[in-house]
Structures are given as structure tokens and as C-alpha cells.
Amino acid sequence: MITILALGDSLTTGYGLAPDASFASRLEQALKREGRNVRVIDGGVSGDTVHEGLRRIGPLLNYRPDLVIVEFGANDWYMRLPVEGIKASLARIIDKCRDAGAKVLLAGVSSLAGQGEDYDLRFHNLYQELAGEKNVPLVPDFMPGIPGNLELTLPDGLHPNEVGVAAI
């Protein structure tokens, strides 16, 4: 059996959705439909920043995941946390996952905008830079075309609804 850990924030855990509609649950369902023997663990916590994810990663690695999907940044971006600190914490998460024998897929949230052109640019670039530095595959935008599309989000215009999660 392949074990995947979906580590992240409310975008991972499915804020406002039933547990079976979360990203982790939908990913597991989709992979099983393809005949894969897989378990996807929901390691998302609504409101988490990457720094909080770094504090939580240790016990989650006890599941011995083969792959960790690392999706953080929306809350960090919203709070305008220092980009250098976000990048450093993501790098430490990647290192801890690798030290535990897991492969890593980094997922960015580059569709967010509105914190100022300079901050937004530095924030969006950090994922590409880190993926190159750590030699990990990157999904540049975890939810392309979803923020602001009320057919794909909850009324807040950010968090994916069930249709939005299916699109991811």
C-alpha cells in the first residue's frame, strides 16, 4: 500500500466541507478508482501557517508516508508573513520528510494576489526557487482559477467548494 500525507492548511483539509469531500479524501477516492492501493492521510489544519505545519510534521511522519504533498502559504500570504521565513520553514519541512524516507511534492498557491505587487511577486517566486533548490517537483498553483470563482468556492471566494475540490 502507498501512503500519501496531504500536509497543509484549510485548502487541504476542506474548510467548510464534509470529511469525504476534502482534498485528501477526494484524492484517495480518485486513485482507488484507478485501481491503486493507496491511503491518503489528511494532515491539513484550517488556519495553519507553514510555521505551524513545521511544528506538526513530526508525529505525522509516524504514518511513514511514501509521498508528502506540502501545501502551505494561503494563511502566510494573508498575514503578510516574511517571505524568507515562509521559504525557510517549507525547506525544513521538505528536509524532515526526506529524512523520514518520503518523497515530496510542493504545491504553491500562486493565484493569490492583493498584498502589494512586491510582496505578491516575492511570495509567488518562493515556490519555484525552493523547488529548484531542493530538487522537488512543484505544482505552481494548487487551485488555479478557483479563487474568486463563486461556482468553485464557498461564499468567501477563496476556499474551494465540493466542485472546486473536484477541479483540484
- Domain coordinates in residue numbering, the chain: 2-167
Contact yes or no for 66/2 (Cβ under 8 A)? yes
Q: Coil, strand, or helix at residue 69?
A: strand
The pLDDT value recorded for residue 164 is 82
Contact yes or no for 69/2 (Cβ under 8 A)? no
- Band (pLDDT 50/70/90 cuts) for residue 83 is very high
Residues with a known catalytic role:
10, 156, 159
Lowest mean pLDDT among 5-9, 98-102, 105-109, 150-154: 150-154
Instruction: Compute the average pLDDT of residues 94-108.
Output: 98
The pLDDT value recorded for residue 111 is 65
**Number of other CB atoms surrounding residue 129 within 10 Å:** 12
The pLDDT value recorded for residue 71 is 96
Q: Coil, strand, or helix at residue 138?
A: strand
Instruction: Tell me the pTM.
Output: 0.91
As given in the structure block, the three cell numbers for residue 139 are 505544482
Mean pLDDT of the chain: 92
Query: If one looks up domain 2-167 in CATH, what number appears?
Result: 3.40.50.1110
Contacts of 71 (CB under 8 A, 6+ apart): 6, 7, 8, 9, 11, 12, 44, 107, 109, 142
Confidence check: pLDDT of 49 > 70:
yes
